[in-house]
Amino acid sequence: MLALNLNHYSNKSSYAPSEVIAAVDRSFTGNADNTLLTYPNTNNDDISFLGRTRGNFQTYRQTQFVLNLMNGTQFGGVVDPRMSRMLSPSPDGQYRGLDPNVVGFGALDSLRRPNNFYGYVAAGGSQLPGRYLFDDKAKMPAMTYSQLQFIKAEAAFRMGDLAKAWDAYRNGVSAHIDFVNQRNSDNGQSPTQITAAEKAAFLASPEIIPAPAALTLTHIMSQKYIAQWAWGHNELWMDMRRYHYTDIDPASGRQVFPGFTLPTNLYPDNAGKVVQRIRPRYNSEYVWNRPGLEAIGGLALDYHTKPLWITQP
């Protein structure tokens, strides 16, 4: 937790990447240390919130952004073996993602629309295995070794130690592949295991694991995004805000999060600006502590678009 926190100050002059690295090095040493929440799956309250039986994500679908990080679009045509184990195919067996700026499924017919995260067209499948973390018994991570390795990789990259950044980056990718296999084994889900040959071929690709001198923030943050997809929401959003969603990586000349586009259909109170923070709920400080909110501008209609102090220089 200390490493996560210290790395959030990357836009500040006080940012100390060596302290971030030291905190990571005192932490997890492998996937065996991952902090995982388990679900006995005996009644509604001990079934995973992401699981099929709880049914909280029946209408949600994967986006083009995460799909294109994994299907070869953004990284030289190299297809990530995790794609078919994490994401959900369309009924025709192909993998597609939706554009948040297009209402519904756009021009995709019923055979080409992505199934929901559980692997189903719509409702159904209660008590049946889901996919990846979207399963009743899948162990939900609170923190993982791969997440911490990507934090170390970013910190080392920022201090100019590309050899150390490369080593942590490769550790992160390798460990997350194993993590995906483990989570698809928690309840005998349908996706097959990533084989040793598939893993080796992926790690041998220079598009994914380049030489240390060719490593970029685009590599590091894209792979960290994949590793945190579906569970590391707070850290993932913090990463995107630290890089202002669409910042360019000077080393690669590409976006740090390649292919990410800002939504265009924003809530009217946003005044054309993207969200930077979560507004207090109607039954929170708006009722109990309005003077406190007023002092920080929290009553402004666009308060949720104000950049965080920690993400600014």
Domains and CATH numbers, the chain: 2-242 (1.25.40.390), 268-311 (no CATH)
The pLDDT of residue 128 is 80
Nearest 10 degrees: Cα torsion 143, 34, 200, 214: 40
Contact 270, 303 (CB under 8 A): no
Q: Could you give the angle at which helices 217-228 and 145-158 cross, rounded to 10 degrees?
A: 160
Q: Which of 224, 251, 213, 82 is nearest to 152 (CA)?
A: 224
pLDDT at 103: 86
State the average pLDDT over residues 265-286: 91
Q: How far apart are CA 260 and CA 69, in angstroms?
A: 10
Q: Six-digit token pair at 267?
A: 């809530």
Q: What is the pLDDT of residues 46-79, one digit of tens each?
A: 899 999 888 899 999 999 999 999 999 999 999 9
Task: Calculate the average pLDDT of the chain.
Answer: 95
| Dihedral-angle region of residue 138 (phi above 0 means left; psi in -120 to 50 means alpha; beta otherwise) | beta
- Phi and psi at 8, nearest 5°, equal -70, -15
Q: Could you tell me the pLDDT band of residue 99, with boundaries at 50, 70 and 90?
A: very high
SS3 143: strand
Contact 300, 269 (CB under 8 A): no
The confidence score (pLDDT) of residue 267 equals 94
Distance CA 79, CA 72 (A): 5
pLDDT at 123 over 80: no
- Taking the CA atoms of residue 107, residue 62, residue 243 and residue 177 in that order, the dihedral angle to the nearest 10 degrees is -140
Closest CA to 65 of 92, 113, 100, 91: 100
For residue 281, what pLDDT band results from cuts at 50, 70 and 90? confident
Does pLDDT of 253 surpass 90? yes
Residues in the chain: 313
Q: Is 3 helix (H, G, I), strand (E, B) or coil?
A: helix
Per-residue pLDDT band for 125 (boundaries 50, 70, 90) equals low
pTM of the model: 0.96
